[in-house]
A and B are shown apart, each in its own frame.
Chain A
Amino acid sequence: MEWETVIGLEVHAQLLTKSKLFSGSSTQFGAQPNTQACAVDIALPGVLPVMNLEAARMAVKFGLAVGATVNRRSVFARKNYFYPDLPKGYQISQYELPVVQLGRLMIDVDGMKKEIGITRAHLEEDAGKSLHEAFEGLTGIDLNRAGTPLLEIVSEPDMRSAKEAVTYLKKLHVLVRYLGICDGNMQEGSFRCDANVSVRPKGQHAFGTRAELKNINSFRFVEKAIDYEVARQVELIESGGKVVQETRLYDSQSNETRSMRSKEEAHDYRYFPDPDLLPLELDEQFIKEAALGLPELPDAKRERFVREYGLSAYDAEVLTGSREMADYYEAAAAMVPGQAKLAANWIIGDLSGYLNRDSLGIGDAPVTSAMLAGLVCRIADSTISGKIAKDVFDAMWNGEGDADAVIGKKGLRQITDESAIERIIDEVMARNPKQLEQYRSGQDKLFGFFVGQVMKATQGKANPAQVNESLRKKLGDKPA
């Protein structure tokens, strides 16, 4: 039987506010345990939540960016469950009336465009962290994260393969960073993903029973976890079994998912409106201001790059992968009129390679956009060849100054003087009479040998096109 996979994703994006959703504690990552957990966060008796305006603005920005309905009135609810890292005994979330509803995101998989529905996005507070390993028979609780604002973004079950799911997730990841509402750091848990996965016989309308996969904290794991889970469900059904609705934990070490049975009974959360919090009301002015604060979004930027700079869809996609990268490119491209494509190649190629090698973000690149533009100019005006440019780039990366300084200091200026090149060719011919004779007697492939010798004699500085042309002339060929 042929099976169809059905996937919906729930993403928790930690909002980039300075303070918590309902208290004035800092949200800075990495502080000493419990030093950023105030009376509200640790739920001392009598405390009351006061909501952060910036968190509301960020949720609205997201809603506008995915073409969703931004509800003028939304309601906070208590989600009740007991766990030591949730000191109140409930999480403040939104249930029946979330702030954002019915949006969409376009994805592109293997050249096919597909719209993925976003059911809702709601504001909620994060829980603390439990540390199980350090203490014998005890669990340590750090409440620094408790109360940190999250935007939970729930998709429709619109994805049909792990690849579509990863593409959607990456797109969402780029979007929240563009909007400046989330840093997207998956290692630190600022961008987390749960996947609802089910299978059904191809052509069947009703959904199969789904499993919820938790703990998938990288793009690669999302794909692997879903693939594993789909195979597990198909195998189970084909051997006469039944999928049960449950939460499953993905273990990246063994690449499998396993049941978390104890989570099941907790599913009765007994939501009710939080009496401590009045409805969140957003007026037109607030929403209009949020709309004005939206940056150019990734799709629009990508299309503009293709149109304005004549880039391929692929190049534009890579360069608009983050706002910082796109800004870097635009700054460089503006300084090298007519060489936008060459600038793009250098950023996608060498610059990205060096950034990866040194684990740096583009904002920390030792080669600034102005320095890269300087290098591109020198290639474009034939001062140096593309090959020498790589050495210049390396020197710039190592702090030896801008392109002109490096070229001057190291004497890398390309030899374009025709008589100088011809003189070197004469010397090379004189030094290699045997090869010359062989070439002239018909061994064409020795042409490359002469090119190599000339380049060697000039330490790579001769203009390759000119060397070719002059060599053909000298060796007695017609110009190619």
Chain B
Amino acid sequence: MSLSRTDVERIAHLARLEVGEQELAAYAETLSRILGLIEQMNAVDTTGVTPISHPLEAGLRLRADEVTESDRRQDFQAIAPSTQEGLYLVPKVIE
């Protein structure tokens, strides 16, 4: 399976990455090679093998339901580009 330039453009847009016009072909080629590797792995018969999502043989550690954080808004907002009335301000995003 190989990716087209349009595929690369779309993936780049979804990931909000800027990929220049002249880089598209190179990305299409290298990304396609990764897919090729996955195809190769897909050829292995994995009947009866449980898929894993994580390489570690362990489960999630859970914490007790307690409020342990205090208000540090001032610290956090000191490094934010723009705030007002306790809100972070961003360019308008409504449609």
Give chain A's interface residues, CB within 8 Å of chain B: 17-19, 23-26, 32-39, 42, 44, 50-56, 73, 75, 80, 82-84, 97, 130-132, 134-135, 137-143, 260-262, 268, 270, 273, 275, 277-281
Q: What residues of A have a CB within 8 angstroms of the CB of B60 in the complex?
A: 51, 277-281
Beyond A19-B66, A73-B59, A135-B84: 15 further Cβ-contacts under 8 Å? Answer: A19-B68, A34-B73, A34-B77, A50-B62, A51-B61, A51-B63, A53-B62, A53-B65, A56-B62, A138-B91, A138-B92, A139-B90, A140-B84, A278-B54, A281-B59
CB distance from A74 to the nearest CB of B (A): 9
CB distance from A341 to the nearest CB of B (A): 42
17 A-B residue pairs with CB within 8 Å: A19-B68, A32-B73, A34-B76, A36-B71, A39-B76, A53-B64, A55-B65, A80-B15, A130-B93, A131-B87, A135-B84, A138-B82, A138-B89, A141-B87, A141-B90, A280-B59, A281-B59
CB distance from A60 to the nearest CB of B (A): 12
CB distance from B55 to the nearest CB of A (A): 9
**Helix, strand, loop or mixed for chain A's interface?**
loop
In the complex, how many residue pairs between chain A and chain B have their CB atoms under 8 Å apart?
A: 129
Smallest Cβ-Cβ distance to A19: which chain B residue = B67
B95 at the interface (CB under 8 A from A): yes
CB distance from A151 to the nearest CB of B (A): 15
- Max chain A CB contacts within 10 Å: which of B69, B71, B95? B69
In the bound complex, CA of A262 to CA of B94 (Å): 10
**Helix, strand, loop or mixed for chain B's interface?**
loop
B side interface size, CB within 8 A: 36
Q: What residues of A have a CB within 8 angstroms of the CB of B53 in the complex?
A: 75, 97, 273, 279
In the bound complex, CA of A200 to CA of B67 (Å): 50
Q: What residues of B have a CB within 8 angstroms of the CB of A134 in the complex?
A: 85, 87
CB distance from A57 to the nearest CB of B (A): 9
CB distance from B20 to the nearest CB of A (A): 21
Of residues 1 through 60 on chain B, the ones whose CB sits less than 8 Å from some CB of chain A are 14-16, 53-54, 56, 58-60
**Does the CB pair B63–A278 fall under 8 Å?**
no
**Does the CB pair A34–B86 fall under 8 Å?**
yes
CB distance from B58 to the nearest CB of A (A): 6
In the bound complex, CA of A23 to CA of B64 (Å): 11
In the bound complex, CA of A277 to CA of B58 (Å): 10
In the bound complex, CA of A278 to CA of B60 (Å): 5
**Does the CB pair B87–A142 fall under 8 Å?**
yes
**Does the CB pair A140–B69 fall under 8 Å?**
no
**If A132-B94, A270-B14, A278-B56 touch, does A24 touch B62 (CB 8 Å cutoff)?**
no
In the bound complex, CA of A431 to CA of B67 (Å): 77
